[in-house]
């Protein structure tokens, strides 16, 4: 009698949809694992660096997982009669459309993040300016957002889709530009001599930080001469420039200004500053 009862219950309960649904899920997860295996093999034969490899693999895996699981869920719903077989493709299209409309910004962030990495616009450790608003060191480049650490040590997360302009201060080389303004009354041949001396010192002292192509140096510090005699600056403006390795640009700039002060003090050359002239109209 007990066996007959169990048989009747099993007859009333159609277990076929459950079995098929289980098989569908197993196939879906197997396909996802297979895609992950393929992306692993593909990444092994590329020349991308580790950060870009992880991001690209995560992007491909996520897109395929989303597509496969969507089809699996629709198949399971059709097995239980919740949607008709004939409307399967229509249902898939509707779900995809709804998901797409709800995730437009998400997809935009991912695509933009992909191109940032693929085009090597920046990498972790670079010092960047984003949208002329955020300035700091890149700490993370994710699928959806990029994280930078500001000088104040605040960590800022910026959605990749909102990155419109990007300045990378650590891209291959950096030009150090030094502006020196001396009063018009100074002995300008003496100023030029002092600046030339400073350039020779910088080229010798920081030779290892100058940007070079092989062993050839095209970027030594040199004087551009007088670049402006605009009275608003309080004197004549001289420019010194040199091209250095990007990570050294600020330390070299600071040391250069320190040496300029030292040499100018030794040679009794004054630095200019804006002047305010008061005219008494009553006199």
* DSSP string across 128-156: EEETTTEEEEEEEE-SSEEEEEETTS-EE
Instruction: Kindly report the pTM of this predicted structure.
Output: 0.59
Average pLDDT per block of 10 residues along the chain, 283 residues long: 53 68 85 83 63 64 76 76 58 55 67 79 88 90 83 91 90 90 92 94 92 73 89 86 91 94 94 70 58
User: What pLDDT is attached to residue 261?
Assistant: 95
CATH number of the 11-102 domain:
1.10.287
**Which CATH architecture describes the domain 121-168?**
Roll (2.30)
CATH of 174-266, one of 3.40.50.450, 3.10.129.10, 3.30.70.100, 3.80.10.10: 3.30.70.100
Q: Which of 185, 283, 200 is nearest to 236 (CA)?
A: 185
Looking at residue 272, the DSSP 8-state letter turns out to be: P
- In the chain, where does the domain assigned CATH 2.30.30.60 lie? 121-168
pLDDT at 20: 79
Range(s) for CATH 1.10.287 in the chain? 11-102
């Amino acid at each position: 009698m007990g066996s007959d009862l169990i048989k009747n219950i099993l007859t009333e309960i159609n277990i076929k949809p459950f079995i098929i649904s289980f098989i569908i899920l197993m196939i879906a997860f197997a396909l996802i694992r297979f895609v992950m295996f393929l992306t692993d093999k593909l990444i092994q034969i590329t020349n991308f660096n580790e950060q870009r490899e992880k991001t690209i693999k995560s992007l491909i895996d996520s897109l395929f997982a989303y597509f496969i699981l969507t089809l699996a869920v629709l198949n399971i719903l059709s097995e239980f009669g919740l949607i008709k077989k004939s409307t399967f493709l229509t249902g898939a299209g509707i779900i995809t459309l709804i998901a797409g409309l709800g995730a437009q910004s998400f997809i935009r962030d991912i695509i933009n993040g992909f191109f940032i990495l693929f085009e090597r616009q920046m990498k972790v450790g670079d010092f960047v300016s984003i949208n002329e608003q955020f300035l700091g060191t890149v700490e993370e480049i994710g699928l959806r957002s990029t994280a930078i650490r500001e000088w104040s040590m605040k960590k800022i997360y910026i959605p990749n889709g909102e990155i419109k302009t990007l300045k990378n201060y650590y891209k291959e080389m950096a030009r150090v530009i030094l502006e020196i303004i001396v009063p018009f009354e100074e002995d300008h041949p003496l100023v030029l001599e002092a600046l030339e001396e400073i350039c020779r010192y910088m080229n010798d002292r920081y030779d290892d930080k100058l940007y070079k192509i092989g062993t050839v140096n095209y970027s030594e510090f040199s004087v551009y001469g007088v670049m402006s005699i605009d009275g608003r600056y309080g004197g004549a403006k001289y420019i010194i420039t040199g091209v250095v390795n990007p990570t050294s640009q600020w330390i070299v700039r600071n040391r250069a200004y320190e040496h300029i002060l030292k040499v100018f003090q030794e040679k009794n050359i004054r630095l200019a500053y804006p002047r305010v002239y008061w005219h008494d109209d009553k006199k």
